[in-house]
Amino acid sequence: MSGGVEPYSMRDKSAIVGVGHTGCVKDAGVASEVMWMRAVREALDDAGLRPRDIDGISTPYTDTWPMGAVPTPFTLTESLGLPGLRWHSGPLGGAYSLGSVASAALAVSTGQCDTALAVHCMVRPKRKGPTAYNYKGAQRASGVYAHLAPYGYSVFVQMMATVARRLLDTNGLAREHLARLVVDQRSNALLNPLAVMKDPLTVEQYLSARWLAEPLGLYDADMPVDAAIAVVITRSDRAGDCRRTPVLVRHVSTFLGPRPDWVFQADYGELFPVELGRDFWRRAGIEPGDLSFAQIQDGFSVYVPMWLEALGIVKRGEAGGFIGDGNLARGGVLPTNTHGGNLSEGRMQGGGAVVETVRQLRGEAGERQVDRPSVGLITVGGSPTVCAALLHV
């Protein structure tokens, strides 16, 4: 390293060599462990590896004694019949799916382990009605919630609706731009056999849908599903021994904005400081213009314009027009959420985006395949837990 000025780097030291995805459905009809082990077996088979090749595991939850039906390094070690692990951890930045993959990539890149497994499982709440979203804080609200819940403000969609209102009224965004995004993503989902949504959606349907929290309507929020994904990450110098084309992990980052919530943050137009976004590309040695496609996790539609601006892919105030001009559609300048996104493939907290990125870069995306892609961006989260990664072949 010359002069000691080059940043330390994880560049291309790890590679994704296997992915598994159960597909998104409203009711899988099996125990969640069955779901996530199906994804794990598929990912191992995809990589051409056996369970005993795994020496590290990361998952979104790491409770030693899991209280719910979620995969953890502990349960997975047992399920795979492993004698133990060199490394285990939770997600970087708390960003669930991608955070677990990023954490595993860092562990492999720094020699904590050689081949890591990252797993994420989502289970759709099966009770009918609005109770699934209900406020859990009962009748007494403490901490920051003391300043929200007494005013009828405690459900996450309200937070994103308030951000959306600000962006719509002061930042060049229009509902027609979001409509274009959501409708294009639905058309992508129709080409994705793993997607839960099977019917086309029109701009008129989007605009006339019932409100959740105005200005966000039914189609601005993602679709809860049963699904699991698994990802195998190994040292890039060993990745060539695996069954498929290795997908290299160029860089990951877990950004933070200035506040842990979207209520009292001074500027709703800033997911995180734009300088951090510029630095992301510098550290990766990749420019926004190098991207073949992007998967911007869309728990809510408004995450997409927020990330486009935060990462400097477009300037502040320009994301709406960029989307409205169709640049994110298949065949556009930056095909985005080519699998349908969380909105139309299903609520995998970005897990589907990771699998889709790998399959696109390998040229395995069927009718949705982007023309000869080389670099893909994945982002997960809308604050405070945000994670981004650049993968390439």
Partner 1 sequence: MTDSESLSRPEPVADEVSAAYWAGAREHRLTIMRCSACGFFVHPPRGVCPRCQGEGLVPEQVSGRGKVYSYHVMHLPGVPGFTPPYGVAVIELDEQPGLLTVGNVLDCPLEELSIGMPVQVTFEDLSESVTLPQWTRGPE
Q: How many CB atoms lie within 10 A of CB 291?
A: 21
- Judged by CB under 8 A, does residue 302 bind partner 1? no
DSSP output for 100-124: HHHHHHHHHHTTS-SEEEEEEEE--
Among 9, 32, 112, 154, binds partner 1 (CB under 8 A): 154
Closest separation in Å from C-beta 220 to partner 1 = 12
**What residues from 241 to 280 belong to the interface with partner 1 (CB under 8 A)?**
263-268
Based on CB atoms, which residue is closest to partner 1, 148 or 391?
A: 148
3-state DSSP assignment of residue 76: helix
Lay out the site mask for partner 1 across 160-199 (x = CB under 8 A, - = otherwise).
-xxxxxx--xx-----------------------------
Closest separation in Å from C-beta 213 to partner 1 = 5
Cα 78 to its chain centre, rounded Å, is 27
C-beta of residue 301 within 8 angstroms of C-beta of residue 175: no
Stretch that binds partner 1, among 36-44, 155-163, 189-197, 353-361 (CB under 8 A): 155-163
Based on CB atoms, which residue is closest to partner 1, 71 or 269?
A: 269
3-state DSSP assignment of residue 390: strand
Alpha carbons 382 and 206: distance in angstroms, whole number: 22
- Judged by CB under 8 A, does residue 372 bind partner 1? no
Alpha carbons 79 and 71: distance in angstroms, whole number: 10
- Judged by CB under 8 A, does residue 202 bind partner 1? no
Based on CB atoms, which residue is closest to partner 1, 245 or 265?
A: 265
What are the phi and psi torsion angles at 360 (to 5°)?
A: -60, -45
- Number of chain residues interacting with partner 1 (CB under 8 A): 48
Closest separation in Å from C-beta 386 to partner 1 = 20
Closest separation in Å from C-beta 151 to partner 1 = 5
Closest CA to 10 of 225, 232, 233: 233
Closest separation in Å from C-beta 26 to partner 1 = 20
What are the phi and psi torsion angles at 8 (to 5°)?
A: -55, 150
Based on CB atoms, which residue is closest to partner 1, 74 or 133?
A: 133
Based on CB atoms, which residue is closest to partner 1, 169 or 275?
A: 169
Alpha carbons 161 and 174: distance in angstroms, whole number: 13
What are the phi and psi torsion angles at 123 (to 5°)?
A: -125, 125
Lay out the site mask for partner 1 across 118-147 (x = CB under 8 A, - = otherwise).
-----------xxx-xxx-xxxxxxxxxxx
User: In which element (H, E) is residue 294 found?
Assistant: strand 293-296
Q: Where along the sequence are the contacts to partner 1 (CB under 8 A)?
A: 129-131, 133-135, 137-155, 157-158, 161-166, 169-170, 210-216, 263-268
